[in-house]
Amino acid sequence: MPRKGYVNLQMDTILKASGINKSFGPIQALEGVNFSIYRGEVVALIGDNGAGKSTIIKILSGVLRPDSGRLQINGHDINLRHHSVIKARTMGVETVYQERSLGEKQPLWRNVFVGRHLHNALGFIRIREEKEITLSMLKESIGLKGVGISADALVGTLSGGERQGLAISRAMHFNAALTILDEPTTALAVKEVRRVLDYIRAIPKQGKSALFVSHNLHHIHEIADRFLFVSHGSIVHQCRKKEMSVSELFEKLDQISAARGKNGEV
């Protein structure tokens, strides 16, 4: 459910997955995956390694195509035979990865507009405008200050938290209805983690939604409005945050992991 304060968004369904199946040879990676994400909420995807989280993310972001099922984004049916990263972006789905969201040796402005450059009537890239937009992101969205800030700086000059902030800001600039966050706080210092969590909190305030994947259940409980538990390639349980404390979140995951072990999974 959307977080309190955004009820006026009328429970618009941003994404609906129905009966999604995916196999890799004899391995059934996903089986009958069903869930929805609504406007103005942060949804957490929870599960052990190998449960199916990464496959779900890759299908939603267009990296993989499912074998069968139905996927709707903003009320539009997606032709899964032609689903791709570009199609997903066009439909309003952006992905922020743990490390691969930005090109390390590219200037910031090129990272923001890669694959989506602004062009003038002659077909040339509107570099000045792109740099101005990037500089605005650095100052307003990420909170960088000082006269030395430059859109020409390399990504490597930013801290890990700032890089994730820029990637999230880029998704908001391109009006992403759903931003997928794949382990965005992994390997970050405590101060940087707090910054990234603040960036994520800002997403629903703009009427957008997020799918948050993390192994840190404390962060999940702090940020997410709803929890989806994944095991054996299926959504086996879901609930709202108010229905489950942090300790109960750990207990539920332990129960699911134990059941998975009894079935011979590792």
Q: What pLDDT does residue 187 have?
A: 82
Q: Structure tokens of 33?
A: 């995956």
**In whole angstroms, what is the distance from residue 205 CA to residue 29 CA?**
34
Q: Which domain holds residue 231?
A: 7-101+177-262
Q: What pLDDT does residue 115 have?
A: 83
Q: Establish if 64 belongs to a structural domain.
A: yes
Taking residues 135-149, report their average pLDDT: 76
Backbone angles phi, psi at 16, to 5 degrees: -135, 120
**In whole angstroms, what is the distance from residue 189 CA to residue 260 CA?**
33
First-residue to last-residue Cα distance in the chain: 32
1-5, 94-98, 101-105, 155-159: the lowest-pLDDT one: 1-5
The CATH number assigned to the domain holding 230 equals: 3.40.50.300
Q: In angstroms, what CA-CA distances link 115 with 31, 90, 112, 174, 181?
A: 33, 12, 9, 12, 20
- The tens digit of pLDDT for each residue in 22-51 reads 999 999 999 999 999 999 999 999 999 999
pLDDT over 60 at 10, yes or no: no
* Single pTM value for the model: 0.87
Q: How far is CA 216 from the centre of its chain?
A: 15
Q: Establish if 172 belongs to a structural domain.
A: no
Q: Establish if 75 belongs to a structural domain.
A: yes
Q: Establish if 94 belongs to a structural domain.
A: yes
Q: What pLDDT does residue 155 have?
A: 86
Q: Establish if 83 belongs to a structural domain.
A: yes
Q: Establish if 145 belongs to a structural domain.
A: no
- The tens digit of pLDDT for each residue in 106-125 reads 899 988 998 888 898 989 99
Q: Which residue did the predictor score with more confidence, 58 or 102?
A: 58
Q: Structure tokens of 263?
A: 């079935």
- Are the C-beta atoms of 14 and 37 separated by less than 8 Å? yes
Indicate the number of domains in the chain.
1
Q: Establish if 207 belongs to a structural domain.
A: yes
pLDDT over 80 at 249, yes or no: yes
Please give the order of strands across the beta sheet that includes 27-38.
27-38, 13-24, 68-73, 76-77
Q: Establish if 81 belongs to a structural domain.
A: yes
Q: What pLDDT does residue 6 have?
A: 43
